[in-house]
Every structure is written in structure tokens, then in C-alpha cells.
Amino acid sequence: MTVKIAPSLLSADFGRLREEVTAVEAAGADLLHLDVMDGHFVPNITFGPQLVAALRPHSRLLFDVHLMIAAPERYVADFIAAGADIVTVHVEACVHLHRVLAQIKEKGAACGVALNPATPLGLVEEVLPLVDLVLLMTVNPGFGGQRFLHFVVPKVNAAAIFLRDRNCQAAVEVDGGVDVTTAPVVAAAGATILVAGTAVFGAPDRAAAVRALREAAEGRDFSRGGERLGAATFRD
């Protein structure tokens, strides 16, 4: 079972972002997770497409851009033009979800749908043909370093089963409070991409941190009585 590690730039040192991105790529990360916040959909402000464009020439990592913004359709094209490989939008932020996902596809990026902890999984069923990734928040979005919400774990397992039963190959990603303690829990539940901020960027040895997360996630029994999603991959 291969689990992908996506360090979250939100926890990096913003005074030396180029070096931070280079460090996690050298450490063996699979993706770089970029949290975009607008101070409206979530109570924080981060960065826009200009930062994505500035970092893009310095990394071969897949840029996993998570738009925690209202009306994301206004900015999708800009982030893809800046170098986003994956663009994920929130169900809760989209009045016309199908239209926004189609817009992402038309611009050539992979397509993700995010759900806040209290948002029902069933809201993505009608758009699954467009979806490459389902992101389940394991914290309430807005700030890094929050405590993992364990009540979301059954939802992670439900998502894996939900996708498998519909013959959907979308990856299951989790974001929030992921560390060496929670990584095996969400991996055993069915997550195949783990977003980790403080656990990577807060560690003095980035390579050791990425390796520890991967080993923790892959060291559990994944059988789950036959209900576990298979070894789904994302853009291998």
C-alpha cells in the first residue's frame, strides 16, 4: 500500500519559501499542498496565484492547490495558469459545483472536491465523474496546527468504500492534524494522500519527518475486513 505525503506550505517559513519547497522535495515528498485562504470562506488570509507562479520554476512536485475561498470560479484559471497541477474546491463554497469542476477540467488540471468535517459525503455523488480527488478536512479549516478531529475517521473509511462501490478511482486525501500518531489511523481508514504541515515543516530533519509519516501510515493492517479501498494511486 503506497501512501503519498503532501507537506502543507501553510506551516513553512514564509521568509524562505523557495528553500522550504526545495527541502521537502529533496526529503521525498510526493506533492506540495498549497492552502489558499481569502478571509471570507475561512478566517485567515494566505496567498494568491502570484506565489504559486513564483514557486513553480523551483520544484517538480505536483502542486496541490486547495482553494478555501468563496466563489472559486473567479480564480481557477489564474491558479492553473500559475502552475497548479491539482485544484481542489470546497462543496460549501460553490453555488454551481459541477460548473466549477468542469472549468478546472477544461483548463487542464486535475480536479478535487473538499468537504469540511460536518459536511455530508453524499453531496459529491453527482459530480464523481469529474473528480480525481476527494479531500476530507480533519480540522475546521482556517489555521494550521490544529488538533485532529477523530470523529472524521469513520467518514474517511466511508469515503473509501463510497468511491470503490461506484467504481471511482479518485484518491482520498485528508488534511488537518496529521502526524505520526494520526497518519496510521487515517491510512487504515482509507486515505491515500496525507497532508501534513507542522509534522513536516516543524521538524528539524525534513527527510526524517517525511519518512516517519510514510512508515507510520504504511505500517498498519489495511484489511479492514475487506472493506478497505484498494491501492489507489494519484498521477503516478
DSSP 176-229: SS-STTTHHHHHHHT--EEEESHHHHTSS-HHHHHHHHHHHHHTS---GGGTS-
4-233 CATH, one of 3.20.20.70, 3.30.479.30, 3.40.50.720, 3.10.20.740: 3.20.20.70
Query: Is 165 flagged in the annotation as binding?
Result: no
Domain residue ranges in the chain: 4-233
Query: Is 33 flagged in the annotation as binding?
Result: yes
* 3-state class (DSSP) for residue 232: coil
CB 70 within 8 A of CB 40: yes
Q: What is the pLDDT of residue 142?
A: 72
Query: Is 48 flagged in the annotation as binding?
Result: no
Q: What is the pLDDT of residue 2?
A: 85
Band (pLDDT 50/70/90 cuts) for residue 1 is low
For 192-227, write each residue's pLDDT tens digit. 999 999 999 999 999 999 999 999 999 844 333 333
* 3-state class (DSSP) for residue 4: strand
The pTM for the full model equals: 0.90
CB 166 within 8 A of CB 124: no
CB 49 within 8 A of CB 80: no
> pLDDT at residue 143 above 80?
no
> pLDDT at residue 30 above 50?
yes
Q: What is the pLDDT of residue 231?
A: 31
Name the catalytic one among 35, 38, 132, 179: 35
Q: Give the whole-number percent of the chain exceeding pLDDT 90.
A: 87
- Examine the residue annotation and report whether 175 is marked as an active-site residue of this protein: yes
- Examine the residue annotation and report whether 30 is marked as an active-site residue of this protein: no
Q: Which amino acid is located at 176 in the chain? A: G
3-17, 140-154, 219-233: which has the minimum mean pLDDT? 219-233
Please, is 149 exposed, middle or buried when counting C-beta atoms within 10 Å of its C-beta (0-12, 13-18, 19+)? middle
Name the catalytic one among 64, 132, 175, 179: 175
Q: What is the pLDDT of residue 141?
A: 80
